């Protein structure tokens, strides 16, 4: 009997529906090839267009509706006319926090054929796995706006670093590094943030004692930014706070081929709630509807979903399919120097996956 996975699809805004369509195409291809499972997709019309009509980013009981699913596949959030803090806090962050998706995983890996702006850097040097705290820290939403509009106006933005939140993300990162046989680097700013980041560094040192087999490094965020450019090979598995992880993974995306290849997973490790998978490039309203958006990040995040469900062999096939498409450089969207449409690139990757599956000894 086939296993059935229920997927909530929030295509969202801008190019979100266009790129997710290709990710779903690849997921369906992988499921058909494997034959042991199927994926059922359920669409939710939430996002900025929904906000413009209803004054809210999602249904009042949206979280309850999503809770029954095995995973959430998100396209993009944000569009002109809707303030960014509303689109972010009322949908994306609401889901991340409400479903305890406290682990954000972003691979920074330079695939064969992907462009890299760093001169003289071998492909193997750019292979990082960022594990970002995803539920509190600088994005906890705590603070106050005092005396608004007056000369003595004061704004307080408070970072929240709990023992529970800090320790669980660091321990998750250590466990991942041990499983992969790689080093773990902590990135903080303990010299200037004398409470939150000193606490972070202390917890990292405490948990490190439980993993004596995992080599560790610790960098200040400014130094880490420099080393990511000059010596990216320093970084294997990286753990950092919500804000630093957000910024550094965009830097990493630029190193590893651009935002069109940037995928992210928001994980609830206990699987009490659904996890969420998304390209991180945003809604790109300037090209929405033109059929030229790059779907590779959405397809890479689909690969992350497959791995999360336990189909690591299929996840690797999807990445190989992306990589072969990049190497051939025949079917690519304009942002990568090609002339192909979004759907054509999705078809190309799906075709590559079928061929790779057959070459591995399977019969379709």
Q: So which residues are the catalytic ones?
A: 139, 189, 222, 246, 250
Q: Residue 129: which residues within 8 A CB-CB, separation 6 or more?
A: 105, 106, 107, 108, 176, 180, 182, 236, 237, 238
24 within 8 A of 42, measured Cβ to Cβ: no
Query: What tokens appear for 131 in the block?
Result: 């594990």
Is there a contact between 286 and 275 (Cβ–Cβ < 8 Å)? no
Rounded Cα–Cα distance for residues 355 and 364 (Å): 10
Question: What is the rounded distance in angstroms from the CA atom of residue 291 to the CA atom of residue 295?
Answer: 10
Q: What angle do CA 95, 258, 22 make, to 5 degrees?
A: 60
Neighbour count for residue 64 (Cβ, 10 Å): 9
Q: How far apart are CA 107 and CA 109, in angstroms?
A: 6
Query: 320 φ, ψ to 5°?
Result: -65, -40
CB 6 within 8 A of CB 69: yes
State the DSSP string of 72-128: EEEEE---TTS-HHHHIIIIIHHHHHHTT--EEEEEEE--TT----STT--GGG-EE
Count other C-beta atoms under 10 Å from residue 145's C-beta: 11
In this structure, how many other beta carbons lie within 10 angstroms of the beta carbon of residue 328? 12
């Amino acid at each position: 009997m086939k296993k059935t996975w229920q997927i909530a699809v929030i295509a969202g805004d801008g190019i979100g529906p266009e790129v997710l369509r290709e990710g779903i195409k690849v997921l369906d291809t992988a499921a058909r090839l494997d034959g042991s499972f199927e994926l059922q997709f359920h669409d939710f019309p939430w996002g900025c267009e929904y906000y413009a009509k209803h004054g809210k980013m999602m249904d009042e009981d949206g979280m309850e509706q999503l809770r029954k699913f095995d995973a959430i596949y998100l396209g993009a959030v944000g569009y002109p006319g809707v303030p960014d803090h509303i689109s972010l806090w009322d949908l994306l962050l609401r889901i991340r926090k409400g479903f305890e998706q406290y682990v954000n995983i972003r691979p920074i890996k330079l695939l064969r054929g992907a462009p890299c702006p760093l001169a003289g850097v071998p492909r193997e040097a750019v292979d990082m796995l960022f594990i970002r705290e995803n539920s509190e820290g600088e994005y906890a939403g705590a603070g106050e706006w005092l005396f608004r509009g007056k000369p003595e106006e004061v704004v307080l933005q408070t970072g929240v670093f709990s023992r529970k939140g800090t320790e669980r993300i660091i321990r998750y990162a250590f466990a991942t590094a041990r499983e992969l046989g790689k080093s773990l680097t902590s990135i903080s700013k303990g010299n200037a943030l004398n409470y939150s980041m000193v606490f972070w560094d202390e917890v990292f040192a405490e948990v490190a004692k439980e993993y004596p087999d995992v080599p560790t490094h610790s960098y200040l965020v400014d130094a880490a930014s420099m080393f990511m450019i000059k010596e990216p090979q320093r970084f294997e598995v990286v753990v950092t706070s919500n804000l630093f992880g957000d910024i550094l993974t965009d830097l990493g995306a630029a190193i590893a081929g651009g935002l069109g290849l940037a995928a992210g997973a928001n994980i609830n490790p206990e699987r009490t709630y659904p996890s969420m998978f998304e390209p991180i490039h945003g809604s790109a309203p300037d090209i929405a509807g033109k059929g030229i958006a790059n779907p590779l990040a959405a397809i890479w995040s689909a690969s992350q979903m497959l791995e999360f469900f336990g189909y690591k062999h299929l996840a690797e096939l999807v990445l190989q399919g992306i990589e072969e498409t990049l190497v051939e450089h025949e079917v690519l969207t304009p942002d990568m120097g090609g002339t192909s449409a979004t759907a054509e690139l999705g078809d190309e990757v799906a075709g590559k996956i079928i061929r790779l599956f057959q070459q591995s000894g399977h019969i379709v």
